[in-house]
A and B are shown apart, each in its own frame.
Chain A
Amino acid sequence: MEIAANGSRAASINLPSGSGQRRAAGRCGGWKLLGGTIGIFVSTPGSSSSPQVRQQGANMPFGNTHNQVKLKFTSDQEYPDLSKHNNHMAKVLTPAMYERLRSKQTPSGFTLDDVIQTGVDNPGHPFIMTVGCVAGDEETYEVFKELLDPVIQDRHGGYKPSDKHKTDLNAANLKGGDDLDPNYVLSSRVRTGRSVRGFCLPPHCSRGERRAVEKLSIEALASLSGDLKGKYYALKNMTDAEQQQLIDDHFLFDKPVSPLLLASGMARDWPDARGIWHNDNKTFLVWVNEEDHLRVISMQKGGNMKEVFNRFCTGLTKIETLFKDRGHAFMWNEHLGYVLTCPSNLGTGLRAGVHVKLPNMSKHAKFEEVLKRLRLQKRGTGGVDTAAVGGVFDISNADRLGFSEVELVQMVVDGVRLLVDMEKKLEKGQSIDDLMPAQK
């Protein structure tokens, strides 16, 4: 983890006498301190991908799961009751695994209990498998890989710890996509997320870090030009008129209400350092410090997904360059692709979707099967966990990891084209059996 210039403050921390700031690689002797206590935590040597920073005693703010206290109790005494739970974390975590991982923490102090709190607090739903764990920083995926690798494998269709993820943001590689029938496809949208390397993620970041991410984002976005030129609206400063306009444009995001998000701690200090940036054309939008550091959205009315994806790739690439110019990379690695807060968004973090009218198709017995074969998912037009209205569905890619951006958008483009063809056939009273696709 890169550390900002003021990382040198390490030396100025006032620890009680008798303590040592050395990182203990092995057993530490019993330390008796006068009138104070000390906690030194290290993750297992070699378990972190960024060894240059060892934050001793790094109880980051909002560490409601301080390891010091927990480790006085046995692992069995601390193990969560997951008997009524149905989420990926609960399926993977075992008492033995908990015991092995519970004394670890990332260099910034994120612990196993921090990772799983949202999954413990939200048992889930018999039909919908939520993930049940979050990352607090980039190193979470390393330090707790014993838990997160199987969760990732489960969630991302068998993606193995040894697999490599392809990143492809070259929009020219997309075939077609400018030809979706606008009589059916009402709007097209592509979104993803990006995390700024060196900063903790929303479940764990301090106010100072969150503000620093906001400041960096504002600076970078202010440099965009041409059709990407735009303006930033901080949530805590916006006028009533601005707020209403953003609501009317369907741009404004609100404080999360979902207990899945709240339980992970990402809504702390709302609305401090949160905001929305969009270009003057209202076709390119960035959310700052909602569920991820950045959410990047390209959208427009109609069915020209190619244009949407072009702008998406151009914009993202420009933003990445602007951040790099300021000394900050995005969190990314060969295995997990882009690193985001929720393991479900790893890889591309990409959801490319359309609002499409499928009143006949959606009533067809094979609708679900077709979607499954096309590797697509349906949602209501309000987004996740909403219902379809007037036969209009939000159809998007089901995958995030293990396919490149181009591949995923291609699946959406080809899949939606097929769905519209099927819809047209059903309108004419014809059968769609000969159009049934093979499993992708």
Chain B
Amino acid sequence: MASSFSRILSSKRNIGILSLVGGSATVGFLLHRDHVSAGSPVRRRYPASAEYPDLRKHNNCMASSLTPAIYAKLCDKATPNGFTLDQAIQTGVDNPGHPFIKTVGLVAGDEESYEVFADLLDPVIKERHNGYDPRNMRHPTDLDASKIQSGQFDERYVLSSRVRTGRSIRGLSLPPACTRAERREVERVVVDALAGLKGDLTGKYYSLTQMTEKEQQQLIDDHFLFDKPVSPLLTCAGMARDWPDARGIWHNNEKTFLIWINEEDHTRVISMEKGGNMKRVFERFCRGLKEVEHLIQEKGWEFMWNERLGYILTCPSNLGTGLRAGVHVKLPLLSKDARFSKILDNLRLQKRGTGGVDTAAVGGVFDISNLDRLGQSEVQLVQTVVDGVNYLIECEKRLERGQDIKVPPPLKQFK
């Protein structure tokens, strides 16, 4: 990977050393990608102890792991793009969190963040991903949808099926750190590639800055339109800068394959349809992803990926597969059973309301999806959802018949 990587780098990145503009001097830089290391150290006027954030009221993964010692070690470092520790943790400093919900509290500004700030990111990853140790473990990637078994749900219960993930374009900074030109480059690269999709994947791009009112209304009606982030978790990380410049939505004509550009990640890829054919949703997901990857590779680009962390995304919580496979499923009886949460836990599933994260369930309809992202492959996670949802439907049917249900034994974390 390293050799093709530097080939791509030298062809794509015009590493101009100098740009003399108007009498002032700047120095460009050369990157040696064989060994990713810290960029220029950050100059500070105060010792690290005077800069260490006050995290006493904080409850997020960053606050749990950032000791004064780690801060002192990392605070003068920067990635080759100039992203610093303070930038990475700003969102966690600004958002103390909630006693019940532990947010991550930091973001990556580029691929190198995960290396340069590994002393902080590794323990955060470990905590967030149930003990996954990036130093010792490998993340499996598997996008062969044919391996899924029993991927058709009972449609009297499952109303819709959806799989989403994210992908980042190697060589360009991530949303918290990217410049306007980089963001526009991401847009250009991805839109270019998407224009090459054919058949049932043929589609169209709608740029947020240029869409007509009519297009906007249609996208809202289809539940496709994403808006400028309002969550302080996101805005404090800097990812909403220059909105709506270089942001947009692409979807295929059939409205079953959708890509968000430059929202929280370079791209978010979504495959969905009404009904319970999760296998077909996942098949289209894998096919679409592979097609897009192929199309960008033709132009000399690739996705950010490595063996330790899988696909690299902005938020550490989305590393690995970045995959959330879920259904909207009717479970009015089961959801009132006291054992519901435990059953979900053991099946490695989570519930959300039908509006997505942080919303409430309506009419006994829940959004059920996989809990895990890293340490298991896409196929494994989707299979987990398939098996789990089938089990939940079985429970619901049993309760309908007045029969009792059993809490299943807990699934193993890493397979």
Binding site for B on A (CB under 8 A): 3-4, 6-7, 9-10, 13-15, 24-28, 30-45, 55-74, 77-81, 99-104, 113, 117, 120-121, 206-209, 211-212, 236, 262-263, 267-270, 272
Query: What B residues does A100 contact at CB under 8 A?
Result: 21-22
Q: Which residue of B lies closest to A24 (CB)?
A: B25
Cα A113 to Cα B240 in complex, Å, equals 15
**Contact A13–B43 (Cβ < 8 Å):** yes
Interface hit among B44-52, B119-127, B258-266, B405-413:
B44-52
Query: What B residues does A66 contact at CB under 8 A?
Result: 81-83, 177
**Contact A68–B84 (Cβ < 8 Å):** no
B1 at the interface (CB under 8 A from A): no
B398 at the interface (CB under 8 A from A): no
Q: Which residue of A lies closest to B57 (CB)?
A: A236
5 A-B pairs with the lowest CB-CB distances in the bound complex, closest first: A208-B46, A66-B82, A61-B86, A73-B181, A77-B181
**Contact B40–A37 (Cβ < 8 Å):** yes
CB distance from A236 to the nearest CB of B (A): 7
Selected from B24, B42, B241, the residue in CB contact (under 8 A) with A44 is B24
CB distance from A135 to the nearest CB of B (A): 18
Contacting residues of chain B (1-42) with chain A, CB-CB under 8 angstroms = 13-32, 35, 37-42
**Contact A39–B82 (Cβ < 8 Å):** yes
Cα A39 to Cα B35 in complex, Å, equals 19
B345 at the interface (CB under 8 A from A): no
**Contact B29–A31 (Cβ < 8 Å):** yes
Contact A6/B46 with A37-B40, A206-B51 known, Cβ cut-off 8 Å:
yes
CB distance from B242 to the nearest CB of A (A): 5
CB distance from A17 to the nearest CB of B (A): 13
**Contact A268–B93 (Cβ < 8 Å):** yes
B221 at the interface (CB under 8 A from A): no
**Contact B44–A208 (Cβ < 8 Å):** yes
Cα A269 to Cα B58 in complex, Å, equals 12
Q: Which residue of B lies closest to A23 (CB)?
A: B25
CB distance from A293 to the nearest CB of B (A): 16
B352 at the interface (CB under 8 A from A): no
Cα A231 to Cα B17 in complex, Å, equals 55
Contact A69/B28 with A78-B181, A80-B245, A117-B241 known, Cβ cut-off 8 Å:
no
Query: What A residues does B180 contact at CB under 8 A?
Result: 77-80
Q: Which residue of B lies closest to A199 (CB)?
A: B45
B154 at the interface (CB under 8 A from A): no
Query: What A residues does B29 contact at CB under 8 A?
Result: 31, 33, 37-39, 68
Cα A121 to Cα B241 in complex, Å, equals 6
**Contact B14–A72 (Cβ < 8 Å):** yes
Query: What B residues does A270 contact at CB under 8 A?
Result: 94
Selected from A42, A64, A113, A211, the residue in CB contact (under 8 A) with B177 is A64
CB distance from A138 to the nearest CB of B (A): 15
Contact A36/B38 with A26-B25, A70-B181, A211-B50 known, Cβ cut-off 8 Å:
yes
Query: What B residues does A207 contact at CB under 8 A?
Result: 50-53
Contact A56/B50 with A70-B179, A78-B181, A103-B22 known, Cβ cut-off 8 Å:
no
**Contact B86–A209 (Cβ < 8 Å):** no
B146 at the interface (CB under 8 A from A): no
Cα A39 to Cα B30 in complex, Å, equals 10
Q: Which residue of B lies closest to A40 (CB)?
A: B27
**Contact B181–A64 (Cβ < 8 Å):** no
Cα A104 to Cα B24 in complex, Å, equals 7
Query: What A residues does B42 contact at CB under 8 A?
Result: 57-61
Cα A267 to Cα B90 in complex, Å, equals 11
Query: What B residues does A40 contact at CB under 8 A?
Result: 25-27
Contact A35/B30 with A61-B87, A64-B87 known, Cβ cut-off 8 Å:
no
Contact A59/B78 with A3-B45, A72-B15 known, Cβ cut-off 8 Å:
yes
Cα A296 to Cα B40 in complex, Å, equals 40
**Contact B23–A44 (Cβ < 8 Å):** yes
**Contact B43–A72 (Cβ < 8 Å):** no
**Contact B40–A57 (Cβ < 8 Å):** yes
CB distance from B397 to the nearest CB of A (A): 49
CB distance from B198 to the nearest CB of A (A): 30
B320 at the interface (CB under 8 A from A): no
Contacting residues of chain B (161-177) with chain A, CB-CB under 8 angstroms = 173, 176-177
**Contact B81–A68 (Cβ < 8 Å):** yes
Contact A13/B177 with A28-B18, A104-B24 known, Cβ cut-off 8 Å:
no
Contact A65/B21 with A9-B44, A55-B43, A57-B42 known, Cβ cut-off 8 Å:
no
Cα A121 to Cα B229 in complex, Å, equals 12
Query: What B residues does A26 contact at CB under 8 A?
Result: 25
Binding site for A on B (CB under 8 A): 13-32, 35, 37-47, 50-54, 57, 76, 78, 80-84, 86-87, 90, 93-94, 173, 176-177, 179-182, 184-185, 209, 235-236, 238, 240-243, 245
Cα A223 to Cα B15 in complex, Å, equals 56
Cα A25 to Cα B23 in complex, Å, equals 9
CB distance from A12 to the nearest CB of B (A): 10
CB distance from B19 to the nearest CB of A (A): 5
Query: What B residues does A32 contact at CB under 8 A?
Result: 30
**Contact A15–B40 (Cβ < 8 Å):** yes
CB distance from A28 to the nearest CB of B (A): 5
**Contact A59–B181 (Cβ < 8 Å):** no
Q: Which residue of B lies closest to A59 (CB)?
A: B42
**Contact A272–B53 (Cβ < 8 Å):** yes
Selected from A30, A31, A60, A81, the residue in CB contact (under 8 A) with B209 is A81
**Contact B18–A30 (Cβ < 8 Å):** yes
Q: Which residue of A lies closest to B17 (CB)?
A: A30
Cα A28 to Cα B24 in complex, Å, equals 10
**Contact A63–B82 (Cβ < 8 Å):** yes
Query: What A residues does B238 contact at CB under 8 A?
Result: 64
Query: What A residues does B13 contact at CB under 8 A?
Result: 72
**Contact B78–A69 (Cβ < 8 Å):** no
Query: What A residues does B20 contact at CB under 8 A?
Result: 27
26 contacts between A and B (CB under 8 A): A15-B40, A15-B41, A24-B27, A25-B25, A28-B25, A35-B37, A37-B30, A38-B29, A40-B25, A40-B27, A59-B84, A61-B42, A65-B179, A66-B83, A71-B19, A71-B28, A73-B181, A77-B181, A78-B181, A80-B180, A101-B22, A103-B19, A103-B24, A103-B26, A212-B46, A269-B90
Query: What B residues does A71 contact at CB under 8 A?
Result: 16, 19, 26, 28
Query: What A residues does B24 contact at CB under 8 A?
Result: 42-44, 103-104
CB distance from B132 to the nearest CB of A (A): 28
Query: What A residues does B181 contact at CB under 8 A?
Result: 70, 73-74, 77-78
Query: What A residues does B46 contact at CB under 8 A?
Result: 6, 206, 208-209, 212
Cα A142 to Cα B38 in complex, Å, equals 32
CB distance from A421 to the nearest CB of B (A): 48
Q: Which residue of B lies closest to A83 (CB)?
A: B209
CB distance from A172 to the nearest CB of B (A): 41
Query: What A residues does B240 contact at CB under 8 A?
Result: 121
Q: Which residue of B lies closest to A44 (CB)?
A: B24
CB distance from A239 to the nearest CB of B (A): 15
**Contact A236–B37 (Cβ < 8 Å):** no
Query: What B residues does A263 contact at CB under 8 A?
Result: 241
**Contact B21–A236 (Cβ < 8 Å):** no
CB distance from B17 to the nearest CB of A (A): 4
Q: Which residue of B lies closest to A70 (CB)?
A: B179
**Contact A27–B241 (Cβ < 8 Å):** no
**Contact A72–B28 (Cβ < 8 Å):** yes
Selected from B31, B43, B182, B235, the residue in CB contact (under 8 A) with A59 is B43
Selected from B14, B16, B27, B44, the residue in CB contact (under 8 A) with A206 is B44
Cα A329 to Cα B53 in complex, Å, equals 27
